Structure 1
Amino acid sequence: MSGKVEDILMLLAAGEFSLGILGNAFIGLVNFMDWIKNRKICSIDLILTSLAISRISLLCIILLDCLILVLHPDVYAAGKQMRIIDYLWTLTNHLIVWFATCLSIFYFLKIANFIHPLFLWMRWRIDSAIPRILLGCLALSVFISLPVTRNLDDDFRRCVKIKVKMNLTLRCRVNKAQYASIKIYLNLLTLLPFSVSLISFLLLILSLWRHTRRMQFNATGYRDASIEAHVKAMRAVTSFLLLFIAYYLAYLVATSSYFMPETELAVIVGELIALICPSIHSVILILENKKLRKACLKVLWKVKYILQRRNC
């Protein structure tokens, strides 16, 4: 890559990284301070905090990988560093998807209006089950990510990263096939939580439609609190689904880049797109959450006040 292209890509990566870190750190800090103040944390705040921490970790891993590829590509020759980054990226990737799915399910159970016994039982149990569910997501993500560390020796890494010509053509071809099968398997596993989020979204639409019909039939106010809650939850879930699709495609590009002619460029472009999801979705969550939105406005007001005093 040319120097100008590298500078532009790194500038974009730094901007997306900064936005993501600020947004997710703000979510975690506000919820943590509220936890210290009230000596307890509600389920939604626990989910948002866990999601924010996992996204901060993912952002740091992606930016680190991007910096290494641009500034010190030879670091990957040893293989060990790339193996660690591959594992951590896969781990945080699955954590984010599962935590976001937990958020979608929580919105559905708390906002939807159904009278099925199973739904009512799940709504009653969800608050007490959230900590165990989040720990289960962590354990599952760790277990799922373990195959990344297998069958990825140094010879394969030298072939796909450094493009060194050596008498290992057959071995590289075999290792590439193994690596591709592992990546396909791991990518397919993320479709399970995505499908759960999609089902939650569709059920929210059904609940909103039924509630709207009921309100119209009873000739009462059309825009009541339940409809507003449905709309806000649907916006949050819809944004996650759309951003997840973009992130998933970018993740595929980045992880399959080992088989492309311009490996470094493919990885960086994929990572730039991947950075959008944890960055933009954190901003959407802040805007959709009343407590976070108020805290954000308070911080912005204080910053504006300080800047005005300095200019005087």
Structure 2
Amino acid sequence: MLRTEENIFIIIITAEFIIGVLGNGYIGLVNWIGWIKKKKISSVDFILTNLAISRICLISAMVLNGIIMVLYPDVSETDKLMIAIYTFWTLANYLSMWFATCLNVFYFLKIASFSHPLFLWLKWRIDRVVSWILLGCFAISLLVGLIIVLVFSCDHRFYKIAQHKRNITEMFHMSRIQYFDPMTLFHLLTIVPFAVSLISFFFLVRSLWRHRKQMKLHATGCRDPSGEAHVRAIKIVTSFLLFLFLYYVLSLLVTFRYLMTEPKLAVMFSEIVSILYPLGHSLILVIVNNKLRQAAVRMLTCRKIACVM
């Protein structure tokens, strides 16, 4: 019989799973339909599609991992199934993180305005190398996933050996200490994409400030599409940075849950809030992106007309 907090956890995490899959599935579907109609796809839509797919995988892995850790803690400690889940989570996690970083950099290069030769060189070539950049992100994520397999395989074998020893508790804690270091290192590796996105954010803000300053000197009273594009890009990058920071703080909380007096409650809280990262940022992308927003409006309008008829 499940306790009240466990029932609440299952309800919330199921709702987040449905919303997250539908939101990211919508992004992928809209871009895929556009690809089929036009026989080509823009660089930003290609990045968004890959990002949506990776986040569907990430949300699925997070939900499955959370349910097992809360409802079946013995499985999460001893079963080889968790090695596969952690590997899948790591692969989807790094793919999502790097694809989102690529999106932030793409917006920065396309929208910002600077005269530096390096910036201009990157701006002119970004469309040509997007596919190779995403392929490189996949290769990095796959490599980290393979390392995770080795780390958890060693940890699993160590735990099995400990079961045949007298002082099992001591051996288990030794295994957990071995587990902390590499996992903490993998979390720290996210500083790289976080720093890249942060740099993109600061340069976007600087570009917007310079643009607004020029607009005041040459005020025409006309609509400012460049300024609006800057603001949309800044909103996207800012939301990503905030969600990513929250996500990894809570991921570290789950990693060190064995040091807490109420590890199950810590896991439930962390899992519920952590899913807001792949869910919330994708919803913001739908709201801010003109193509996705207009497609959603058309869909809702058609549905209202169908209901009236």
Both structures adopt the same fold (TM-score exceeding 0.5): yes
SS in 2 for 1:236: helix
Question: Does residue 7 of structure 2 align to residue 7 of structure 1?
Answer: yes
Deviation of 1:77 after TM superposition, in Å, equals 5.1
| CA distance 1:100–1:166, change in 2 (3 Å) | farther
Deviation of 1:67 after TM superposition, in Å, equals 2.5
Alpha carbons 1:76, 1:157 under 8 Å: kept: no
Deviation of 1:217 after TM superposition, in Å, equals 1.7
Measured against aligned partners, the alpha-carbon deviations of 1:10-29 in whole angstroms (never above 9, x if no partner) come to 11111111111111000000
**Distance between the aligned counterparts of 1:308 and 1:157, measured in 2?**
64
Deviation of 1:158 after TM superposition, in Å, equals 11
Deviation of 1:142 after TM superposition, in Å, equals 1.4
Question: Does residue 220 of structure 2 align to residue 217 of structure 1?
Answer: no
| CA distance 1:166–1:231, change in 2 (3 Å) | farther
**Distance between the aligned counterparts of 1:173 and 1:7, measured in 2?**
30
Alpha carbons 1:212, 1:222 under 8 Å: kept: no
Matched residue, 1:62: 62
Alpha carbons 2:236, 2:285 under 8 Å: kept: yes
- Listed as ranges, the gaps of 5+ residues in structure 1 are none
- Listed as ranges, the gaps of 5+ residues in structure 2 are none
Matched residue, 1:35: 35
Matched residue, 1:116: 116
Matched residue, 1:267: 267
Moved beyond 6 Å, runs of 4+: none
Matched residue, 2:237: 237
Code of the aligned partner of 1:87: T
Deviation of 1:31 after TM superposition, in Å, equals 0.5
Matched residue, 1:295: 295
Alpha carbons 2:253, 2:270 under 8 Å: kept: yes
**Distance between the aligned counterparts of 1:39 and 1:215, measured in 2?**
38
**Distance between the aligned counterparts of 1:132 and 1:70, measured in 2?**
40
Measured against aligned partners, the alpha-carbon deviations of 1:201-238 in whole angstroms (never above 9, x if no partner) come to 00000001111111112233475111011011001111
The RMSD of aligned alpha carbons is 2.3
Alpha carbons 2:70, 2:267 under 8 Å: kept: no
**Distance between the aligned counterparts of 2:42 and 2:219, measured in 1?**
35
Alpha carbons 1:87, 1:146 under 8 Å: kept: yes
State TM-score, norm by structure 2.
Answer: 0.92
Matched residue, 1:251: 251
Measured against aligned partners, the alpha-carbon deviations of 1:280-302 in whole angstroms (never above 9, x if no partner) come to 11111011111111111122223
Deviation of 1:145 after TM superposition, in Å, equals 3.0
Q: How many residues align?
A: 306
| CA distance 1:139–1:47, change in 2 (3 Å) | same
Matched residue, 1:152: 155
State TM-score, norm by structure 1.
Answer: 0.91
